[in-house]
Amino acid sequence: MTSTTAVMGNYGRADLAFSHGEGSWLISTDGDRYLDFATGIAVNTLGHSHPKLVDALTRQAGKLWHVSNLYNIPEQAELAQILAKRSGLDQVFFCNSGAEATEAAVKMARRAMHHMGHHNRHKILCAEGAFHGRTIAMLAATDRPAFREGFGPMPDGFGHFPFGNMNALRDQLISDAESGAPEIAAVMVESVQGEGGARPLPDGFLAELRAVTNEVGCLLIADEVQIGVGRSGHLFSFEPSGIKPDIIAMAKGLAGGFPIGAVIATEAVGSAMTPGSHGSTFGGNPLAMQAACAVLDVLDADFLADMRSRSAMLFAELDGLKQKHQAIIEIRGNGFLIGLVLADHLTPLDVMAACRAHHMLVVPAAANTVRLLPPLNVRTEDIHHAVAVLDTVLSACEEKASHNHD
Ligand SMILES: *Cc1c(COP(=O)(O)O)cnc(C)c1O
């Protein structure tokens, strides 16, 4: 297919464009209203045109857009303090995207080991099915062979363990520690794999992982890029497990739609990052900082408690759909990162296209899963509407599939 624009063809795009948004709704350039259960892939935390976010950004836009990290940036200090306080960690580095955050998290883990005199501990273990971004290094961390095709060679220093399998992971960590020349610097996990199909780690996994990483002296990196910023129903998804990671990577929803990345680290890790060790021209830009402060201001304990009850309602309604439709074999995820695992005769792209035809946006994922990523402030009537659309779409998909079998 020849492209009709000068935009590179590296995305499979729907022939649809939007002119503006209001809350959980996007308005297309044709004037149609779409219910947004995609949120730009977990980015529009508070939907579209949230007055507090618009206000924070436009006020900053009239004052100062950019200064270099050669100077103090008070807006960074403000956001860093909020993130440190709410995570229980100590220091924050700012960048502009998820891959930059995960990559910086890996650099920090290696550097911290180096700083402590463990010069061989450079390896990062990730889960099978993980997605950590698309830079060359993060492609090695990400477990999607198709994404690597033609981009090799992959850098060394990354390995994978079977998803959710604590025994296998513990064996790898212990045998590395007992080898006499340990190589593993850190384990990096998403508590719910987003791109991997809204797959949550088994209950108790994070607590066991924290215990075994402490035992062998390696670091724990939480990739909260997608599940963080309240999407799990808690500001950080690991909160209910009671653990504290050494390093937390954040991005997507942190500034509600303004580009941002952040890495939160303990004092022990952060102290290895001496002046000149890492940097980013745009990282910690005042516009991004103000937008993120406004998002975090909205995501207080009351908001999150209310969100958890709306999430429970959505899960209950989806469970009803699963009873009714053989097309859904599993509902999984956490908070507002929800996966509908489809039966083999359906594909996520078919369901996504059918939803779009009914003016609702959803996101495909691996493992034959459709992802629902509503804004965290989605209203209950919009949740009911979404479930009604899915009901219609699944009935139509099933009918089509049964005709294909005739
Ligand atoms: C999206 C994502 C990334 C990469 O973020 P980009 O901003 O696209 O670079 C990394 N980790 C996880 C868990 C993600 O979902």
Residues 232 and 346 in one domain: no
Q: Convert the pLDDT of each residue in 359-381 to its tens digit.
A: 999 999 998 999 999 999 999 99
CA-closest candidate to residue 246, choices 228, 230, 223: 223
Confidence check: pLDDT of 83 > 70? yes
pLDDT digits (tens, 9 = 90+) for 315-347: 999 999 999 999 999 999 999 999 999 999 899
Cα 132 to ligand 1 centre (Å):
5
Ligand 1 centre from 400 Cα, in Å? 34
Q: Is 251 in the pocket of ligand 1 (CB under 6 A)?
A: yes
Tell me the average pLDDT of the chain.
Answer: 96
Residues 118 and 32 reside in one and the same domain: no
254 lines ligand 1 (CB under 6 A): no
Q: Please give the Cα distance from 324 to 49 (Å, whole number).
A: 36
Total residues found in the chain within this entry: 406
Q: Are strands 261-265 and 360-361 parallel, antiparallel or unpaired?
A: unpaired
Does 172 sit in the ligand 1 pocket, CB within 6 Å? no
Do both 205 and 91 map to the same domain?
yes
Cα of 262 vs centre of ligand 1, distance in Å, is: 12
Residues 69 and 177 in one domain: yes
- pLDDT score at 406: 60
Residue with CA closest to ligand 1 atom 10? 132
Q: Are residues 269 and 310 both part of a single domain?
A: no
Q: Write down the pLDDT at residue 1.
A: 46
Whether residue 193 is found in the same domain as residue 277? yes
Task: Give the CATH number of the domain where residue 201 resides.
Answer: 3.40.640.10
pTM reported for the whole predicted model: 0.97
Is 103's C-beta closer than 6 angstroms to any atom of ligand 1?
no
132 lines ligand 1 (CB under 6 A): yes
Q: Is 102 in the pocket of ligand 1 (CB under 6 A)?
A: yes
136 — phi, psi (to 5°)? -60, -45
Q: Does 380 share its domain with 236? A: no
3-state secondary structure of 100: helix
Same domain, 262 and 337: no
Q: What pLDDT band is residue 405 in, cutting at 50, 70 and 90?
A: low
| Residue 281 clears pLDDT 90, i.e. is over it | yes
Task: State the residue range of the domain holding 348.
Answer: 18-45+301-405
Residue 4: inside a domain, yes or no? no
Model confidence pLDDT, tens digit, residues 197-251: 999 999 999 999 999 999 999 999 999 999 999 999 999 999 999 999 999 999 9
Q: Does residue 129's CB lie within 6 angstroms of at least one atom of ligand 1?
A: no
Q: What share of the chain is helix, strand, coil (3-state, %, to 5)?
A: 40, 20, 40
pLDDT digits (tens, 9 = 90+) for 157-187: 999 999 999 999 999 999 999 999 999 999 9
190 lines ligand 1 (CB under 6 A): yes
Q: Which of 298, 325, 352 is the last residue of a domain?
A: 298
Residue 401 has pLDDT above 80, yes or no: no
